[in-house]
């Protein structure tokens, strides 16, 4: 949910539960709660002039709902030897090996054996793979629509898999390298279509359908499984 106004993480001094994000919005007319399936973050949005005391009462009344929602958030997985990591939609067993960069061998992903190196090395490897695949997919779809992206940028957002700016800059999550190739291709087509139609109206979806006829099935995969790609932690 887009919001204007103040935003901050809950702090003991402010009387808010730890881990809660309190967001004041000039557009909000009522209290709303959201639990991110990516990282379990609880966001409470409230009208700009609402009292914090009323916000806390709202939270208290919905404590059972919050607990149930958090129970459905996938547990984090540290990316290290012995873990299973999806690569192009297929699970790969991470195996420590005396090398500097990850290497895919069948259903195994060989990772640096040095302590603390596996996570960052795999993240860099996935980012490179995502850039290569997204660049190729975007080039193909852009040629079909006779447009040209200004730039392709990779990041690790929590709330979206891709975006298109008014200047033609396309942004993608590098975690798409973990998704099935057809899903990555759909996201590329979706954002390239925005170079023609900067909206989600009928003409936009007609463009997407022309590029990816079964786009609804691929989009459904992201809705069902996408949050699970965020449970993998690549810290040293």
pLDDT tens-digit series, residues 136-170: 999 999 999 999 999 999 999 988 999 999 999 99
pLDDT at 12 over 60: no
Long-range contacts of 162-170 (CB under 8 A, 24+ apart): 162/187, 162/188, 162/190, 162/191, 163/191, 164/191, 164/192, 164/194, 164/195, 164/198, 166/198, 168/195, 170/138, 170/195
The sheet carrying 84-87 orders its strands as: 84-87, 90-97, 108-112, 103-105
What domains lie within the chain, and their CATH numbers?
7-71 (no CATH), 78-233 (3.30.2010.10)
Return the pLDDT at 17.
53
Q: What is the pLDDT of residues 52-92, one digit of tens each?
A: 889 889 998 988 888 888 877 778 899 999 999 999 999 99
d(CA 100, CA 120): 11
Q: What is the pLDDT of residues 170-229, one digit of tens each?
A: 999 999 999 999 999 999 999 999 999 999 999 999 999 999 999 999 999 999 999 899
Return the pLDDT at 18.
54
CB 216 within 8 A of CB 226: no
CB 122 within 8 A of CB 102: yes
Return the pLDDT at 6.
37
Return the pLDDT at 169.
98
Q: Model pTM?
A: 0.78
Return the pLDDT at 38.
67
């Amino acid at each position: 949910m887009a919001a204007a106004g103040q935003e901050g993480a809950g702090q003991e001094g402010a009387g808010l539960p730890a881990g809660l994000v309190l967001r004041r919005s000039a557009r909000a007319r009522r209290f709303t709660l959201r639990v991110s399936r990516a990282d379990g973050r609880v966001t409470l949005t409230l009208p700009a002039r609402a009292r914090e005391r009323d916000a806390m009462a709202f939270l208290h009344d919905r404590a059972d709902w919050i607990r149930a929602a958090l129970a459905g958030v996938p547990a984090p997985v540290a990316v290290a030897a012995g873990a299973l990591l999806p690569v192009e939609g297929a699970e790969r067993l991470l195996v420590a090996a005396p090398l500097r960069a990850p290497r895919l061998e069948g259903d195994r992903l060989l990772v640096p054996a040095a302590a603390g190196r596996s996570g960052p090395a795999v993240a860099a490897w996935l980012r490179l793979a995502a850039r290569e695949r997204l660049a190729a997919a975007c080039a193909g779809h852009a040629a079909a629509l006779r447009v040209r992206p200004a730039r392709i940028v990779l990041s690790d957002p929590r709330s979206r898999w891709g975006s298109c700016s008014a200047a033609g800059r396309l942004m993608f999550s590098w975690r798409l390298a973990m998704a099935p190739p057809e899903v990555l291709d759909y996201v590329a087509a979706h954002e390239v279509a925005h170079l023609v139609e900067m909206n989600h109206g009928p003409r936009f979806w007609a463009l997407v359908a022309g590029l990816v006829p079964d786009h609804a099935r691929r989009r459904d995969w992201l809705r069902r499984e996408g949050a699970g790609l965020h449970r993998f932690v690549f810290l040293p």
